[in-house]
Structure 1
Amino acid sequence: MRSAAAQAPTDHASKYLQQLCKHWQHNLAVVFTPEHGTVTFPRDARGAEWATDALVTFDAGPGALSVRIDASSDEHLEAMKGVVARHLDRFAFREAPLAFDWQRS
């Protein structure tokens, strides 16, 4: 597994976490509270070009939304970074683009 984590500075972390999880729960396996959420992207997700699942974890804190992505390959990890950033920026349009300081784990 390849992993990366980032902090996206925002005062609306819980709001964005919930909006994003509600958005994805229609098609993906999602579990969330106002403070924590996980989204599993299956190998057959729409438009997916990878062979195994990916897990995205969100944690809402004061002043930032923490995001962690666990993926099967470097290519998958990079693709998921883009998916997460684009979707979050849609919900955070008033302060987009959010700054992600991705760090490999």
Structure 2
Amino acid sequence: MSTATAHVPTANASKYLQQLCKHWGHKLEVSFDDKAGTVRFQEAVVTMTAGEEALSVTVEAVSDEIRDRIEGVVASHLDRFAFREAPLTFNWA
């Protein structure tokens, strides 16, 4: 498995977490509340935790290639929801 985590600075972490989970909930297996969420893709799992000043996002995938792709998908979707703040800062590690 290949894993990476980003801590995305934003005061709206809970809002964006919920928007993203609701959006993906139409097509994917999703569970969430106002503080944490999990999205299950075919070959990856994204977990998010909302803090006061940042959204923590972890991608766990079957390969580095899939992880890189999902990182991009997460970042582009969050930037759309956070258009007033976009582009958000994603420092994947």
Number of residue pairs the alignment of both structures matches: 93
What is the aligned partner in structure 1 of residue 62 from structure 2? 72
Distance of 1:34 and 1:61 partners within structure 2: 10
- Provide the residue aligned with 1:23 in structure 2: 23
* TM-aligned CA deviation for residue 100 of structure 1: 0.7
Q: Runs of 4 or more off by more than 4 Å in structure 1?
A: none
Q: Which residue in the other structure is 1:49 paired with?
A: none
Residue 82 of structure 1 and its aligned partner are, at CA, apart by: 0.3
Aligned to 1:83: 73
Counterpart position of 2:46:
56
Which residue of structure 2 lines up, in the alignment, with residue 8 of structure 1? Answer: 8
- How far 1:4 moved relative to its partner? 0.1
Map Cα deviations across residues 16-66 of structure 1 (whole Å, 9 max, x no partner). 000000000000000000000000001xxxxxxxxxx20000000010000
Q: Tell me which residue corresponds to 1:38.
A: 38
Name the CA distance, whole Å, in 2 between partners of 1:23 and 1:34: 15
Distance 1:63 1:90 in 2: 19
- Structure 2 residue matching 1:99: 3-state secondary structure: coil
Larger Rg: 1
TM-score under structure 2 normalisation? 0.99
Distance 1:8 1:76 in 2: 20
> Which TM-score applies when normalising by structure 1?
0.87
The SS at the match of 2:87 is: coil
Q: How far, CA to CA, are the matches of 2:31 and 2:66 in structure 1?
A: 22
- Provide the secondary structure at the position in 1 that maps to 2:19: helix
Partners of 2:69 and 2:91 lie apart in 1 by 16
